[in-house]
Amino acid sequence: MVVSLIGGSRFQSHEQVKEDIMTLPYVFSQLDHIELGFFPTPLHSLPRLTQALNGPNIFIKRDDQTGLATGGNKTRKLEYLIGQALAQGADTVLTAGAVQSNHCRQTAAAAARAGLQCHLVLRGERPSLITGNTLLDQLVGAKIHLVAPKTDMLTALEELALTLKTEGHHPYVIPYGGSNSIGAAAYAAAMFELQDQLQEMDLRIDYIVFASSSGGTQSGLVVGAEMTGFEGHILGISVDKKAGALQSLVADIANGTADLLDVPRIFNPRDILVNDNYIGGGYGVMSQVELNAMRQVARFEGVLVDPVYTGRAFAGLIDLVQQKYFKRDENVLFWHTGGTSGIFGYAQRIAELS
């Protein structure tokens, strides 16, 4: 079932698919879906940064502009997840993440748009100032359940779902990061969007580089690459996991997604390209490295990247350019996955580092 809040549909009929293989295949229209975002997201070059780094040509795909209370990669995933929640008759969605979770903020905004209640289990210390994503969570009406940093989040989510059921609600649990086969299918679809843009721009991309954490984005991209015949590399910069763990996680989700979309391919962890050199102090621990990258991207291109995900991934990209990992004539696409409202949650830390 496809529900449109915005008007029009991105899905193609059987007949249209035959005419143009780069439009979204029929299999996607079999998934529950609701339109929540603004697509296609822009794709453009970063000429001043390219020149300053004296390396490959750098391009950017702007999934920070998807909409839903400032945008990000979860908008695509939530179009399918909220679609399924509605199809199952849910009246409430719940999910979990860190206090400054972009995923939670986007889920809260998606729920508001779809007329669903939203409960968020947020892990961390009570902030002295409600700001960044947490501020937006409250603004869009989510109910926040703050839990101690060491809490087992899966158990906390299950317990909350049970409580909501006993209160007479119909809850739908959205996994951490929206990363299951349904959420990842959205990024397989996004590869069709990208291929259309590349065709139109007559552009070949050799590397797609982006922040990878709960694995859904990367899983979807690799499945979409298989479906569209994309020949470049898909390089996830790990934000918080050792390469082996992230490769296994991505391969697992990718296999579930391939199954869902009838893609005859088995993914092995060794097929998944991950760089874990930029984890630094761990999840959410911002250092000078991320701040320098944030400043470089902002000051050369007027583009904002965040301290936790995209700033870390961009720091990795800049370092790889400096190490001559890419050839000068290669085209590298940074897939911006959002997170910009998280910047405000780090105002104090940015001041300390400045």
**Residues labelled catalytic:** 101
Contact between 134 and ligand PLP by CB under 6 A: the answer reads no
| Alpha-carbon span 115 to 246, nearest angstrom | 34
From candidates 132, 256, 311, 338, binder to ligand PLP by CB under 6 A: 338
335/229 Cα distance (integer angstroms): 18
Task: Show the DSSP H helices in the chain as ranges.
Answer: 14-19, 26-29, 47-53, 74-87, 102-114, 132-139, 153-166, 181-201, 216-228, 243-260, 288-301, 310-322, 347-353
Residues in the chain: 354
Q: Which two tokens stand for residue 119?
A: 């409960």
Q: Which span (35-43, 137-145, 260-268, 333-341) binds ligand PLP, by CB under 6 A?
A: 333-341
In angstroms, the Cα distances linking 344 to 34, 81, 136, 178, 313 are 30, 27, 11, 23, 18
Segment interacting with ligand PLP, rule: CB under 6 A, options 54-62, 154-162, 208-216, 263-271: 208-216
Number of residues engaging ligand PLP in binding (CB under 6 A): 20
Under the binding rule (CB under 6 A), the answer on residue 95 touching ligand PLP is no
Question: Does the protein bind ligand PLP through residue 65 (CB under 6 A)?
Answer: no
* Binding region for ligand PLP (CB under 6 A) out of 43-51, 133-141, 216-224, 288-296: 216-224
Nearest CA to 92 among 142, 155, 158, 145? 142
Of the pair 122, 164, the CB lying nearest ligand PLP is at 122
164/253 with CB nearer ligand PLP: 253
Site for ligand PLP in 250-309 (CB under 6 A): 306, 309
Point out which residues pair with 173 in neighbouring strands.
94
CB-neighbour burial class of residue 260 (10 A; exposed 0-12, middle 13-18, buried 19+): buried
Choose which of 95, 212, 228, 296 interacts with ligand PLP (CB under 6 A).
Answer: 212
Q: How far is the CB of 170 from ligand PLP (least distance, A)?
A: 26
Residues near ligand PLP (CB under 6 A) are 72-73, 102-103, 177, 179, 211-218, 306, 309-310, 337-339
